[in-house]
Amino acid sequence: MIIARILPLFVAGFLAACGQQAEMEAPVSLGNFKLGHNIVVADNPQKVPISREADPQDWDDSLTAALQKRLSRYEGDKFYNLGVSVDAYALAPPGIPLVVSPKSALVVTATLWDDAAGKKLNEKGVQFTVFEGLDGETMVGSGLTRTAEEQMERLSFNAAKRIERWLADNPEWFGLPPKAPEPVASTK
């Protein structure tokens, strides 16, 4: 009986410890990449009906800052301009812990431009959906433990991280050899 009461607390503590992530991992290999213009547009994002309200300018500011912090670390010798639109969001409102605990999410579309050539590197914008992630605070619902601003900051951080990974998945854009194709698993 005591184990049944203590086990959930132990699991929550363990997940909290595992969920802690370094704010900024080491840079990945992006060849000659150097961030030029960092343009975020959040004119009219769609809000999921149960979401908290968020001012579009706050999204613009939060995501611009996260992208600048993450991508200005690269000191290549060629400028690339990034355009990102905020398409949709959900900021978790307070709920009933472990029963109704909505999660926060952000949907963005990214386009990369070669500054010197004046052309897009991806013909069509690439859309990404990111979530806050699971940690000790979000396990019971981030609406209970984080303000809307804190949720936006975490979502912006995760969106910038996802965009960085997208750039790394396209090394040929930055004067690096293309990534080797993933091996196909045998179905024998």
What is the structure's pLDDT at 188?
61
pLDDT at 131: 93
Domains of the chain: 27-172 (3.30.160)
The pLDDT of residue 125 is 97
CA-angle at 129, arms to 182 and 95, nearest 5°: 135
167: confidence class by pLDDT, cuts 50, 70, 90:
very high
Q: Angle at Cα 108 formed by Cα 16 and Cα 153, nearest 5°?
A: 40
Q: How far apart are CA 136 and CA 89, in angstroms?
A: 22
Per residue in 145-158, pLDDT (tens digit) is: 578 899 999 999 99
Cα–Cα dist 105/159, whole Å: 10
Confidence class for position 186, pLDDT limits 50, 70, 90:
low
Residue of 145 and 166 predicted with greater confidence? 166
Q: Which amino acid, residue 91?
A: L
Quote the pLDDT of residue 49.
Answer: 84
Range among 11-15, 38-42, 134-138 rated most confident: 38-42
Joined tokens for residue 99:
């029963």
In tens, the pLDDT along 96-107 reads: 554 455 779 999
Question: Tokens 């990534």, residue?
Answer: 179
3-state class of 85 per DSSP?
A: strand
Whether 1 shows a pLDDT value over 80: the answer reads no
- In angstroms, the CA 171 to CA 4 distance is 50
Lowest mean pLDDT among 43-47, 61-65, 79-83: 43-47
Question: How many CA atoms are closer than 13 Å to the CA of 31, on its beta-carbon side?
Answer: 17
Partnered with residue 110 across adjacent β-strands are 84, 126
Q: How many Å apart are CA 108 and CA 102, to the nearest integer?
A: 20
Is the pLDDT at 10 greater than 50, yes or no?
A: no
Judge contact between 123 and 112, C-beta under 8 A. no
Q: Is the pTM of this model over 0.85?
A: no
